[in-house]
Amino acid sequence: MNPAFWTAARQTRRLAALTGTVVCLSAASAVPLASRNAAAVKRRLGSLVQTGSQRRPGDFGSRERRVTDVLLVLNAVVYIAQLASKQRLTAWGIKHNGMIRAGQWWRLLTPALLHGSTVHLLMNNYSLNSIGPLTERLSGHARFAAVYAASAITAVVGSVIMNPQMAVGASGAIFGVGGAMAVFFYRHRGYFGESSDAILRQLGQALAINTVIGLTTPQVDQWAHFSGLLGGAAVAWALGPRYVQVEQVKGNLLTLDRPPVPLLAWPSARDGRR
């Protein structure tokens, strides 16, 4: 249960500006923008990656990654509670197929907060710290939390259907965060150009590596990983962000967030917080 999204996460941190072809999208067609407008869009969307509080966006405690930090601390605190309770907390929250089917529905979420060992906890927190901050910054706090929670639940659901063994761990939810990042860069590959393609390749390689690890390591719940990945990607596709640029009459650009389900959409790309 060791998501290898780290290489892709390191590459995303190197993004200093958006690259590639930029288009103006309307309801009917995509119209290429003049280079002066393309530069404006790059600056506008680039601010979502680059600007922020006095702390650097990747630093623990910066406001852009507050949900990631809460999850990191929560994982650690819950693990300490597992040890302090002599694993009674683990027994209460572990993924147990029979108890879930008997009506203990909280077990659809609680396994993502539990870990089987200190190494397990450190590996998952390292993965989350590598991939979570950028995904949260691009998506917003509310959407990132929704992706993480949905991924955690779908990971357990997939595991209940396909894996009879008991299981704990946040890796299914972390795979969902990786799926959300893949959706973002695939959806906006016209803005990020070759950088987007490189990130998607790295994520694909990471998925392949983890698939091999899962097939050769009996303790890894592969079904939870795949289910979490699909759940996170589906929620990210529905909730966004999905940025489009509308060229106004005077040639100015209005950058809008228009996902299929706009419940948590930003009013505009310039409003980088929610």
- Is pTM, for the whole model, over 0.95? no
The answer to whether the CB of 176 falls within 8 A of the CB of 148 is yes
pLDDT beyond 80 at 23: no
Per-residue pLDDT tens for 116-153? 999 999 999 999 999 999 999 999 999 999 999 999 99
Model pLDDT, residue 144: 97
Give the alpha-carbon dihedral of 42, 44, 45, 50, to 10 degrees. 100
Catalytic residue among 120, 151, 225, 227: 225
Model pLDDT, residue 103: 95
Of the two residues 257 and 46, the one the predictor is more confident about is: 257
Of the two residues 265 and 67, the one the predictor is more confident about is: 67
DSSP tag of 64: G
Question: Quick one: pLDDT band at residue 272, thresholds 50, 70, 90?
Answer: very low
* CA atoms within 13 A of residue 274's CA, in its CB half-sphere: 23
Q: Residue 120 and residue 234: Cα distance in Å, rounded?
A: 27
Which string of DSSP letters, residue by residue, matches 128-153?
HHHHHHHHHHHH-HHHHHHHHHHHHH
The answer to whether the CB of 166 falls within 8 A of the CB of 44 is no
Catalytic residue among 151, 171, 195, 227: 171
Tokens linked to 120 = 């397990």
Identify whether 159 is a catalytic site residue: no
Q: Tell me the pLDDT of the chain averaged across its residues.
A: 80
The CB density around residue 202, as the number of other CB atoms within 10 Å, is 20
The answer to whether the CB of 19 falls within 8 A of the CB of 194 is yes
Q: Residue 31 and residue 33: Cα distance in Å, rounded?
A: 6
Identify whether 139 is a catalytic site residue: no
3-class secondary-structure state, position 5:
coil
**Element of type H or E holding 23:** strand 23-25
pLDDT beyond 80 at 53: no
Helices (H) and strands (E) in the chain, counts: 11, 4
Per-residue pLDDT tens for 27-49? 222 223 233 344 444 444 555 54
Q: Residue 32 and residue 63: Cα distance in Å, rounded?
A: 35
Model pLDDT, residue 175: 95
